[in-house]
Structure 1
Amino acid sequence: MRKLATAFLLATLTFSNVVGQGTLVEDTIILSLDYDDITDLLAENGVPAGLLPIDFEVDVHRVIYDTPDVDGTTPTTASGLVFIPKDDTCAMPMLAYLHGTKLKKDDTFYYLRGEWSLGVLTAASGYVACLPDYLGLGAGPGIHPYQHARSQATASVDILRSARIICDERELQLNDQLFLVGYSQGGHAVMGTHRMIQEELANEFTVTASAPGSGPYDMSGSQLDMVAAFEPYSVPGYLPYVIQSYQHVYGNLYTNIEDILAPPYDQTIPPLLDGSVGFGVLNAAMPAIPREIFQQAYQDAFFSDPQHPAQVALRDNDVFEWVPEAPVMFNYCRMDEEVTFLNTIVASDYMINNGALDIQIIERDSTIGHFACAQPSILFSKFWFDSMADLCTSSLSIEETETSSGFSIYPNPVTDGVVQFSNDHKMMVRVLDARGRELMSASQVSPNGSLDLVGIPKGLVFLEFSEDEKRTTRSLIIQ
């Protein structure tokens, strides 16, 4: 990107460390991205041209902020990124993206690693976007309390508070909308954060909608059954990562490491959990069947006693036994080999059976696994949010939209049910809703042709154009 190198030289704003959740310890603008920079970023991440609007230039803030430690009271700090659209014309919604599993301490947003570009793409369409690293990752001290619902939630809420401070400093307005999205560990974090806001912070925040994806919501049931089975598991490193986390949080899972881990794992595994190596290194050091790292006596005690400290810790981090008041859209893929889809079924069934009024369960694909399921889950969650968000401006409101293939669709919005195209050759067009579901199967459009959308529900839809192996997607509003 042409301007990224010079952007790192932008001014740094550093605030004194005042104890208080969300208080900024550091706020540094590390990138200032214009339209060309964001367009390049879209291309680098394989996002089809025209799929996501670029309505704003974006400032990227690297932040460190005050937040409580795992006991809920001891002050500590966490890090992350806050993305601010360059607009002061109206009030903007907030969005938090909560990330999946990371083991290496610097493989995080604070260091511009991982999927940090999601914050840019979200802010470019008008959201103030917050991407926390959680405790113990990025610039945060100590070890990461992996899959600990409460500290994931407090770190996520407190970066929202930090973002409000930044907006106040810049005299930018926020509206009262808040959207939460995350995948894998991030899905678990979304559920815990949404629950905390609804039950404890309703006087400060209101969740407009949340979209958890493929998360281990049922830690003590569905996910335990998958990880602790007598068969190979694709990511065996999850198990010791959780054990270290819950020992750190609760302190009662074992007295000595030799009590729980059998040789040689009592010596080989702990050094790999200090945040200095990536998850691939940990997985390579594990047996294919994760439970083989445990002493048999520990296994017997764990599975025979529902009040075993590890069983209690797992139940304490289940995040589905509550009833959301705001809409929730669960994303999952049935062939997920890392987080069983039964987590989604158990969680959604509980919520619906206990009176939740707006729970959607979307199977994104019946054939793909955990990693491949992430992109459609996150992308269509963002489209769903767009259909509810009060955004300052939107490329969806223009009269004519030119696609990357050099033709136009018009009018946009469409009011009479017929959309026109200025194409110079035949193309196939398919219509999808904001959740990625097909509303109209592929139809052939003649040069300078049209498509009759009568019968398609009003609202946000997507037109997917295909020509040979090329695909382009454009958004359209039907009024």
Structure 2
Amino acid sequence: MKLQNTFLILSLLLSLFIVSCSNNDDPITDEPQQFNYLESEKFVSTISQGMAQVSFTVLASQFDEAAGLANEVSNDASVFKLVYTSTFQGEEIGVSGLVALPDQSGNFPVISFQNGTNVEHSRAPSADPNSNLFRILESVATMGFIVVIPDYPGFGESEQVLHPYLERGNTLPSLLDMLKATREFVGQSHIKASLNDELFLMGYSQGGWSTLQLQKAIEEDGLESYQLKASSSGAGPYNLSLINSNIVALDTYPMPYFLAYLMHAYQQHEQFSNALNEIFADEYAAKIPDLFDGVTSGASINDELTTTVADLLQPTYRSGYESNDDFASIRQAFSRNSITAWETSIPTRLYHGTSDLFVPPVASEKLKTDFEELGLTDDDVRLILMPDADHQSGILPFGFASLNWFLSIRESSQN
């Protein structure tokens, strides 16, 4: 209820704000340049310093974690949609995302936010930049950050493909290339802000999984012009085998569309060889492909499925997933796309609500244990459990806590 009331207040404030900037939507052009990634840009809106201060003051009245954030606001910000070149299924593709940046000269660090689970084209970041969550994220640019929010393949400019839900190989290129396109974008003469080399990563739910995949890739392979400073992930399904086993063992699971989304994407993108009717009961297996049409909401998909696990899944899958050779390719796909602990040198935080029924906290607890077995301590990887928070109510507390942590690191680096 607190989250709903806060979003209602912010919606009223932001609706006034959006009207004030909605007439300025012409693309900005610059001198001709050859870019490797950036294809186009379009101005979306301006966020005033005063409006951001009001918004964060309202948020602080509802969330302890947001206390003091209004005092960090120091500048106006501008929001743009970027279209850029990446790869998907080994082929070149145009994808998109949002960039919010300070509307003033200076060198600023980047925060890359990886979005959570979404099935609707109309709710992608670049399609819905004025939604409450994305507006809050964009407003962080008024604190002297460049904020990057990729759409992921399957959304924005790439609606023609099925989103590769929790697929490492089809997700990572779009995240890395968004950062490269951002570097090209801010290098233009009409953009006041410039990059310094500091990069912060954060994401929640699917975005938590994406954030750790991105962090690990950057640590292993590097990323030109960026120095990774810290990474914060919330409520991610890091170990897909563990998540699957947890769901299979339940009597009821409140978000059956999560599992259907995963299996449908994996089947379509040949992550495994099994047919959907080997996993789901025939009634639901026949429905699933048409449900993920980019229009039907997650709630509506849930309504077409069932929360009763014994009715949702084939008995042979429930009893044989972990050992039956018929499901070996599924187990291999989950292993290939899961996060495995590594000897990270980047300060990392894992957040998880203790009452999360969608992605259980054991996902983060197990990963923390795996890091500890490699000799990493709380100074390296810290697990922060959010008391009584469920999957939805944990989003904003996670975000504000992560932002405060990033602000403290930035302050330390400036001293």
Residue 40 of structure 1, CA deviation: 4.8
- Asked if structure 2 preserves the Cα contact closer than 8 Å seen for 1:152 and 1:193, the reply is no
Name the structure 2 match of 1:4: 18
* 2:283 is aligned with 1:289: no
Correspondence list, 1:137-152, <5 A:
137-141=155-159, 142-152=161-171
The residue aligned with 2:84 is 65
Identify the residue that residue 116 of structure 1 maps to in structure 2: 134
Any residues of structure 2 matched to 1:193-212 within 5 Å, and which?
193-212=214-233
Structure ranking higher on relative contact order (CA contacts 8 Å, 6+ apart) = 2
User: Residue by residue, what CA displacement relative to the aligned partner does 1:99-144 show, whole Å, maximum 9, x if unpaired?
Assistant: 1111111111112246211332211111100011111023323111
Relative to structure 2, which stretch is displaced further, 33-42 or 157-166?
33-42
Code of the residue aligned with 1:119 in structure 2: it is L
Match of 2:388 among 319, 343, 367: 367
- 1:239, 1:114 → 2: CA distance? 27
Equivalent residue letter for 2:366: V
Q: In the alignment, what sits opposite 2:119?
A: 103
- Counterpart CA distance in 1 for 2:132 and 2:218 is 26
Following superposition, the deviation at residue 242 of structure 1 comes to 0.3
Distance 1:345 1:87 in 2: 42
The separation in 2 between residues aligned to 1:385 and 1:283, in whole angstroms, is 36
| Residue 213 of structure 1 pairs with residue 234 of structure 2 | yes
Q: Distance between the aligned counterparts of 1:164 and 1:390, measured in 2?
A: 23
Q: Residues of 1 paired with 2:101 and 2:313: CA distance?
A: 47
Distance (Å, rounded) in 2 between the aligned partners of 1:316 and 1:5: 46
What does residue 270 of structure 1 align with? 289
> What is the Cα deviation at residue 42 of structure 1?
3.8
Q: Residue by residue, what CA displacement relative to the aligned partner does 1:379-437 show, whole Å, maximum 9, x if unpaired?
A: 101100101115999xxxxxxxxxxxxxxxxxxxxxxxxxxxxxxxxxxxxxxxxxxxx
Matches within 5 A, 1:372-391: 372-389=393-410
Contiguous gaps of at least 5 residues in structure 1? 394-478
**Partner letter of residue 399 of structure 2?**
I
Among 285, 299, 306, the residue aligned to 1:280? 299
Shift of 1:340: 1.2
* Cα root mean square deviation, aligned: 2.8
CA contact (8 A) 2:198 2:229 kept: yes
* Alpha-carbon shift at residue 167 of structure 1 (Å): 1.0
Structure showing the higher helix proportion among its residues? 2
Paired AA for residue 91 in structure 1: N
Gaps of 5+ in 2: 1-13
Give the counterpart of 2:147 among 111, 115, 129: 129
Q: Which whole-Å CA distance do the structure 2 matches of 1:185 and 1:86 have between them?
A: 31
Alignment of 1:253-268 (within 5 A): 253-255=273-275, 257-268=276-287
Paired position in structure 1 for 2:45: 31
TM-score (norm 1): 0.74
- Structure (1 or 2) with the greater strand fraction: 1
Instruction: Select the residue among 194, 210, 218 that pairs with 1:173.
Output: 194
Range with bigger deviation, 165-174 or 241-250: 165-174
Equivalent positions of 1:414-425 (< 5 A) are none
Q: Secondary structure at the match of 1:250?
A: coil
Paired residue type of 2:118: K
Q: State the distance in 2 between where 1:147 and 1:14 align.
A: 36
Deviation at 1:202, TM superposition (A): 4.7
Taking the aligned partners of 1:130 and 1:85, their CA distance within structure 2 comes to 12
Q: What is the letter of the counterpart of residue 392 of structure 2?
A: F
- TM (norm. structure 2) is 0.85
Q: Cα offset for 1:364?
A: 4.0
Q: 1:244 aligned to 264, 268, 274, which one?
A: 264
Cα displacement (A) at 1:147: 1.1
Whole-Å Cα distance in 2 between the matches of residues 302 and 392 of structure 1?
49
Matched, 1:229 2:249: yes
Distance in structure 1 (CA, Å) of the matches to 2:132 and 2:151 = 11
Tell me how far 1:12 sits from its aligned partner: 0.2
Which amino acid in 1 is paired with 2:261? Y
Residue 249 of structure 1 and its aligned partner are, at CA, apart by 2.6
Alignment partner, residue 3 of structure 2? none
The Cα of 1:300 is off from its aligned counterpart by 5.3
Asked whether the equivalents of residues 149 and 319 of structure 1 are also in contact (C-alpha less than 8 Å), the reply is: no
Question: 1:391 and 1:5 mapped to 2: Cα distance?
Answer: 38
Kindly state the Cα deviation for residue 17 of structure 1 after the two structures are TM-superposed. Answer: 12
In structure 2, the residue matched to 1:425 is none
